[in-house]
Amino acid sequence: MKDIEIIPSILREVIEKISELPGYGEKSAQRLALNLLNMPRGEALQIIKTLFDMLEKIHPCVECGLFTEKEICDICSSEERDRSVICVVEETFDAFAIEKTGKFNGLYHVVGGRLSPLEGITPEDLNIDKLIERVDKGNIKEVILATNPTVEGEATASYIYNLLKNKNITVSRIAYGLPFGAVLENADDFTLAKALEHKTPI
């Protein structure tokens, strides 16, 4: 943001910080600040408090990485889930999208991003070691790689496949019912359900 003297420093700070978030730019940061400033102060403070509470309470599940208020998430601690299948996703919201379909009853593993040499994201930045550890503990029959059908998502799936291929388990990739370049969490339930149904062994 260009240095305009009349912009209050705290407002400039907010816009600078928010516009550094992935997917945000100066205009969307301005819009967020403006929205908060334009609403009744009590309501705006309530939103800030909720964000603060979220940061206090929500952490990744120590097993699978899903965001949860507990140490171990409800899925990992459930006795009704199939504990022999792990579905690997990039982010928590991808898992939520799959849950919406009601077509998956196994466990999840959130790697927390995607391999991207351009952005300097390497395997060490992702929660992959823990996945291998879970598989090595035994009892896992299948790992479904449900990273996004994008270049980075494919690279991530491929990297994980290579780590798992000799472990005597089935490794499958979520089916291409999804158009290349799409974002998994935006897919409609039907497409996502089809993609799960037609998963193919690698």
CB of 145 to a second copy, least distance (A): 20
Nearer to a second copy, 48 or 167 (CB): 48
Measured between alpha carbons, how far is 151 from 156 in angstroms, rounded to an integer? Answer: 9
Nearer to a second copy, 30 or 170 (CB): 30
**CB neighbours of residue 163 within 10 Å:** 16
For binding to a second copy (CB under 8 A), which residues are involved? Answer: 2, 4-11, 13-14, 17-18, 21-24, 27, 30-39, 41, 44-48, 50-55, 57-58, 66-69, 73-75, 91-93, 95-96, 99-100, 112-113, 185-186
CB of 168 to a second copy, least distance (A): 30
Beta-bridge partner residues of 173: 145, 200
Task: Extract the tokens encoding 61.
Answer: 């599940």
DSSP labels, 108-151: EEE--S--BGGGTB-GGGSTTHHHHHHHHTS---EEEE---SSH
Question: Which secondary structure element, helix H or strand E, spans residue 17, and what is its range?
Answer: helix 9-19
Residue in the block written with tokens 């504990």: 83
CB of 35 to a second copy, least distance (A): 4
Nearer to a second copy, 170 or 191 (CB): 191
Task: Extract the tokens encoding 146.
Answer: 């449900």
Nearer to a second copy, 23 or 138 (CB): 23
**CB neighbours of residue 72 within 10 Å:** 14
Nearer to a second copy, 5 or 124 (CB): 5
Measured between alpha carbons, how far is 131 from 160 in angstroms, rounded to an integer? Answer: 9
CB of 144 to a second copy, least distance (A): 17
CB of 38 to a second copy, least distance (A): 7
